[in-house]
Chains A and B, each alone.
Chain A
Amino acid sequence: MELELRGITKRFPGVLANDEVTLTARSGKVLALIGENGAGKSTLMNVLSGLYKQDAGEILIDGKVQDFRDPGDAIKAGIGMVHQHFMLVPVFSVYENVVLGVEPVHGPGVLNRKKARSEVREISERFGLAVDPDALVEDLPVGIQQRVEIIKVLLRGAKILVFDEPTAVLTPQEVEEFFGIVAELKGRGATIIFITHKLKEALAVADDITVLRGGKVMGHADPRTATPEQLASMMVGRDIDLTVDKTEATPGDDVLTLRGVHMVDDYGRALLNRIDLTVRAGEIVGVAGIQGNGQTELVEAITGLLPLAGGTVEFLGKDISKASPRQRHAAGIAHVPEDRNHMGMISSFTVSENLILDSYYQPPFSRRGVMDGDAIRESAESLVESYDVRPPLIDNTGGALSGGNAQKMIVAREFSRDVPLVICAQPTRGIDVGSIEYIHEQIIRKRDEGKAILIVSTELDEIFALSDRIVVMYDGKIVAEMTASETTPTEVGLYMAGKAA
């Protein structure tokens, strides 16, 4: 089926989210839709899936104008959405999830399990989506869960498949498998729309690329000839340098030393398994690994948010294993947490309040328990200015900022402190290219000032762009430690998957 959007315009109060968007997705082809956060990708997809009604413009399928009143109409027309965040019931089996809402029944209210199972099996075989219909979804790895989502939309007769940031949650190996699935679907004549902000993936998998910026189509690109830099410039509207300029590191003294750090969960299983790690002044150590292999726990062990079961954390030669988060913060550890919205900021607090979130009790912000509004404002004004937080309005709530600007706000708070150790967990997750470039520059600058820096990232590109040294975590252990210039993404990827070592 061929999908055509003609002049789609969608307004929200005060926002022109989509401005005359025109594009075509062809049968058996992959169209990559790229753009920064806020470029209008999600709005466009919500129009396409019938959640929103466009203010102007037409949706055509095989040349016929469609009128979607609700998502049901879009599904009937053959459009299937695979969301970034899966809509699965974890305690249900695969087949139960797949048929949810379109259950085959014996009679009123009685599920025909046999038919449901066979329908699921039939689709998974036809499209080469190997998955056990009886497995519980919560037991499945993320990559397989995504297959369940795909089977779900295929069962509902989707011929046009829309993937929203499908690789965000996948491991590098799963990404490869996912591309295989895309190729299979494509070969069977499906029309695929692939929404992403990862330029390399768009180039790898797409037949056509459409770039959105500020709700408008900025242009189309041919993946065979386009470069990531060209696409990034189209997305952002100015030249973007995707490579991070940095000189050779000149490491100094040990700043942070972990010796045999051990952490267990409530059931006694090891979350961190005897970690030894050293970070020196003036170097960036990158912790690579697939999400959930102990990186979160590693950071929280260092910052004192989770208790150790064994081992010691030494900071500037002193054992801080027993110190509280407040004491470690005061001793000179800055921490950009991995979860911006749930940990790094309070979205209902103003920007100026968020900028003092962990130093509110110290002079000049507070004296004898009473806060000094003038000092807080003054500092906030200068921070939003020097860290380019936009809009630079310190009385707005933190939640009103875009992801990239919220992250810049957090980076401003943590980096403005002149401390020997900076820990950045997922420093650029889910933020726009312009902000990524900016934050990477700030991290390198901190290193060049002689600070010790620990980066945790699930993005291999980021690990390689920033790190002087790379350690790989797998299953709560450090399974490899390498000099960044002497290894390759492929090698690191293998360690991440636990295949080497």
Chain B
Amino acid sequence: MSITSPDGSVTIDPDPGKGPSFLRRLTTATDWKTGLVIPLLAVFTALVISGAIIMLTGSSFAEMLDAYKALLQGSVGSLRAISQTLTEATPLIFTGLAVALAFRAGLFNIGGEGQLLMGGMLAVLAGFTFTGLPWFIHLPLAIVAGAIGGAIWGFIPGFLKAKTGAHEVIVTIMMNYIAYRLVDYLLKSTLFQREGRNDPISKNIQDSAQLPPLLQWLDPAATVHFGLFLALGAAAFIWWLLFRTNTGFEFRAVGANPSAARYAGMSVTKVYILVMSISGALAGLAGTGQVLGLLDRASPGFSAGLGFDGIAVALLGRSNPVGVVAAAVLFGGLNAGGQYMQANADVGIDLISVIQALIIIFVAAPALISAIYRVKTDATSTQISKGWGA
């Protein structure tokens, strides 16, 4: 608890660190309260407000309920809906993890788009170039290629940050633009472009590089593919990396307090480079999953904003791998349900963007949620990244 005086300058902590005040910290434990209660309340509040928005645009209360029913139906109402939700969630888990990992080390990776594109392109390249390989060699090869593509695109801003102090936000944004245009160029090049086509589209990947579908034996339209397990595996790996290894300890230390990390003998520059490379690899795997599991090829803009959505997922998931998976599934469900809602109720899919935006606003400004529901939270603990200061 701190109090700022009217002149905005005095911050006073009433008896910091005294016994009972520490108990207060314990009962308002940052982990489960700000980690679970706030996001859930944020989702609920966003749905309520969006419901009001639906009604403001001329729908009746019953129609609003129908729209939400359709949203639910389209996200978890059937096997196909669940499959669609998980398909949508798969790349979001990867890009969410990419952003979350960088957050943990105090870096803001806005370059998910570019890293995803470069990862996808290398995976496609590996996917159509090699022929005649058995799947158990070809598929891992294409996946590794995708991870490397993203890692290279993440390494560059990490390296520039470490060696020259260039701010990673600026560099990753620029790397996105480079990637967009590079993809356009590559897709028209003889290396990538499909024979006999004039539009920018890549060759199809070999079947041996395909991420196998999981539920097509039950429903031919179920798109969920093996990439989901890769994503869950990546989440488990990142959790283990962050909380069980020296490297993760260094990441978290550098993210929380770079001068203490330096004092403790850690190399802050090494951490910046490594964390951005791994973060890039994760985003690259998002692109890999899309091209090897869903699209079978690359076309312009196949990133579809997934890199940016990863920022929202990481925020909502509190930069915790478990939270990221949950947030990605939620966003995946909203996207899947939104499509169904658009088709079956008279509410456009744009509403989903509104809901997602409101969720993020409430998560980013937990004081609002605390005020509405009178939940005590430790506002300081919700700062996820040091952002622009670094």
Contacts and interface: CB of A to CB of B under 8 A. Distances in A.
Given A14-B23, A329-B265, A358-B264, A51 B3 contact: yes
Interface residues of B, number: 41
B26 A15 contact: no
A335 B262 CA distance: 13
Contacts of A294: none
Contacts of B178: none
Contact of A71 (B5, B17, B259, B381): B5
Given A52-B3, A326-B265, A343-B263, A396 B22 contact: yes
A129 B323 CA distance: 59
B12 to A, nearest CB: 6
B7 interface: yes
B21 interface: yes
Interface string B5-20: 1110110111111111
B246 A335 contact: no
Interface stretch (A24-32, A108-116, A284-292, A397-405): A397-405
Contact of B249 (A12, A305, A329, A360): A360
B253 A349 contact: yes
A357 B21 contact: no
B21 A349 contact: no
A63 interface: no
B18 A15 contact: yes
B189 interface: no
Nearest to B25: A400
Interface in A32-72: 37-38, 40, 42-43, 46, 51-52, 70-72
A405 B257 contact: no
Contacts of A12: 1, 14-15, 21, 24
A342 B5 CA distance: 24
A401 B17 CA distance: 5
Name, among A43, A51, A330, the residue most crowded by chain B CB atoms within 10 Å (CB to CB).
Answer: A51
A83 interface: yes
Interface string B235-277: 0000000001111010011001101111111100000000000
A405 B17 contact: yes
A229 B3 CA distance: 35
A43 B263 CA distance: 34
Interface string A323-341: 0111001100001010100
Contacts of A43: 14-15
A366 interface: yes
A369 interface: yes
A42 B14 contact: yes
Name, among B16, B17, B265, B381, the residue most crowded by chain A CB atoms within 10 Å (CB to CB).
Answer: B265
A70 B262 CA distance: 42
B26 to A, nearest CB: 7
Interface in A355-404: 357-358, 360-361, 366, 369-371, 373, 391, 396-397, 399-403
Nearest to B3: A51
Contacts of A38: 15-18
Given A369-B247, A400-B25, A402-B16, A324 B10 contact: no
B6 A72 contact: yes
A361 B10 contact: no
Q: How large is the interface on A (under 10, 10 to 19, 20 to 34, 35 or more residues)?
A: 35 or more
A346 interface: yes
B15 A15 contact: yes
Contacts of A403: 16-17
Contact of A51 (B12, B23, B256, B262): B12
A71 B22 contact: no
A95 B6 CA distance: 21
Contacts of A343: 257, 259-260, 263
Contacts of A399: 17
B9 A87 contact: yes
A366 B250 CA distance: 13
A13 interface: yes
Contact of B14 (A46, A305, A397): A46
B22 A357 contact: no
A17 B256 contact: no
A46 B260 contact: no
Given A14-B21, A71-B5, A371-B249, A342 B265 contact: no
A372 B200 CA distance: 52
Interface in A399-458: 399-403, 405-406
Given A342-B257, A346-B256, A353-B249, A17 B265 contact: no
A141 interface: no
Contacts of B247: 369
Contacts of A329: 265
A375 to B, nearest CB: 13
B159 to A, nearest CB: 20
Given A14-B23, A342-B257, A402 B265 contact: no
20 contacts: A13-B376, A14-B20, A15-B14, A46-B3, A51-B3, A70-B6, A71-B5, A71-B7, A326-B265, A342-B260, A343-B263, A347-B257, A348-B256, A357-B264, A358-B265, A369-B246, A369-B247, A371-B249, A396-B25, A400-B25
| Across the A-B interface, the 8 shortest Cβ-Cβ residue pairs | A326-B265, A402-B17, A14-B20, A358-B264, A38-B18, A15-B20, A400-B22, A346-B257
